[in-house]
């Protein structure tokens, strides 16, 4: 009897080890609620959220292939609207929905990370720091040549996001002090597209989530403070926002389990690994 019990324990331990391995380090206990589940989950909205959402979905699906999870972008406005209209199960937003939106759609909010938004340029650009006034003047086209900022004698190529973007809203509100964004600015659809555009244009300036920054672009220090995890965490860098997921009414089924996983130790580990500040 003791031998049989020992064998079962060994099998159980092996199973837990295999589950831990195939899910990229997620604790088996955090994935256990998905074991008997099946069905589809639809997630869309803010693009800053996508790296965390994709990794969480990957680990969940690897633990139980009967679950299907689709992750799409579209911007914070779309995430709020489609979640509110019941077109998706979870909406993502890089801004807090307005009181009107919350009331209209009966939205429930789940803030799982803190993120900064910073201006970025091409790595070859010699301009590495700007004042708030200079940044505002760039986006309103009062300053239109890098030479005026100590850089090369070339026109500044402006990049921005569409008005549904939560990233745009926090940048416009906190970095540009609600100043003008030139109608001539190139509009891109996501944080990823912004990073690609700036990385490919030596005379560009754009803005992205701190969680998306990598060596392909150079972050611009604003009023002497560089946008990075340490300065966002300390509050020294002020252009910051919460990352939210939301549902129409109280979440249930796979939506609730997915959100619970994001707040679990394994989920918050993903948040940190993807360059954001966990809330737990």
CATH topology identical between 2-114+242-278 and 116-240? yes
- Look at residue 6 in the predicted model and tell me its pLDDT: 34
Q: For the chain, what are the domain ranges?
A: 2-114+242-278, 116-240
**pTM score, whole prediction:** 0.83
What is the average pLDDT score of the chain? 92
Question: Looking at residues 244-259, what average pLDDT do you find?
Answer: 98
Is the model more confident about 265 or about 9? 265
Angle ∠(92,193,146) on CA atoms, nearest 5: 125
Assess whether pLDDT exceeds 50 at residue 76.
Answer: yes
Q: How confident is the model at residue 26 (pLDDT cuts 50, 70, 90)?
A: confident
CATH architecture of the region 2-114+242-278:
3-Layer(aba) Sandwich (3.40)
Question: Looking at residues 31-36, what average pLDDT do you find?
Answer: 96
Assess whether pLDDT exceeds 80 at residue 19.
Answer: no
Assess whether pLDDT exceeds 80 at residue 8.
Answer: no
Question: Looking at residues 65-89, what average pLDDT do you find?
Answer: 97
Question: Looking at residues 59-68, what average pLDDT do you find?
Answer: 97
- Look at residue 25 in the predicted model and tell me its pLDDT: 57
- Look at residue 51 in the predicted model and tell me its pLDDT: 96
Assess whether pLDDT exceeds 70 at residue 5.
Answer: no
Is the model more confident about 25 or about 257? 257
Report percent pLDDT > 70 for the chain: 91
Is the model more confident about 14 or about 163? 163
Question: Looking at residues 252-261, what average pLDDT do you find?
Answer: 98
What pLDDT digit, counting tens, does each position of 196-216 carry? 999 999 999 999 999 999 999
Question: Looking at residues 128-149, what average pLDDT do you find?
Answer: 98
Which CATH superfamily does the domain covering 116-240 fall into?
Answer: Periplasmic binding protein-like II (3.40.190.10)
Question: Looking at residues 256-279, what average pLDDT do you find?
Answer: 97
Question: Looking at residues 85-102, what average pLDDT do you find?
Answer: 97
């Amino acid at each position: 009897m003791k031998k049989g019990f020992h064998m079962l324990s060994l099998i159980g331990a092996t199973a837990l080890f295999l589950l831990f391995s195939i899910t990229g380090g997620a604790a088996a206990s955090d994935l256990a609620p998905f074991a008997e589940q099946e069905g589809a989950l639809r997630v869309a909205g803010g693009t800053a959220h996508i790296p965390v959402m994709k990794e969480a979905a990957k680990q969940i699906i690897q633990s139980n292939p009967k679950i299907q999870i689709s992750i799409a972008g579209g911007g914070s406005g779309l995430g709020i609207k489609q979640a509110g209209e019941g077109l998706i199960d979870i909406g993502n937003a890089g801004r807090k929905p307005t009181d009107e939106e919350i009331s209209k759609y009966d939205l429930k909010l789940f803030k799982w990370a803190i993120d900064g938004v910073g201006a970025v340029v091409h790595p070859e650009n010699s301009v590495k720091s700007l004042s708030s006034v200079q940044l505002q003047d760039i986006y309103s086209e009062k300053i239109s040549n890098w030479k005026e900022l100590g850089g090369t004698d070339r026109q500044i190529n402006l990049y921005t996001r569409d008005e549904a973007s939560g990233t745009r809203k926090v940048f416009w509100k906190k970095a540009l002090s609600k100043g003008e964004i030139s109608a001539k600015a190139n509009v891109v659809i996501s944080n990823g597209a912004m990073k690609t555009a700036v990385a490919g244009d030596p005379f560009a300036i754009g803005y992205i989530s701190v969680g998306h920054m990598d060596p392909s672009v150079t972050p611009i220090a604003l009023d002497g403070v560089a946008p990075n995890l340490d300065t966002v965490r300390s509050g020294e860098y002020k252009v910051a926002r919460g990352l939210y997921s939301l549902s129409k009414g109280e979440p249930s089924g796979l939506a609730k389990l997915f959100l619970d996983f994001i707040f679990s130790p394994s989920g918050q580990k993903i948040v940190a690994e993807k360059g954001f500040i966990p809330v737990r």
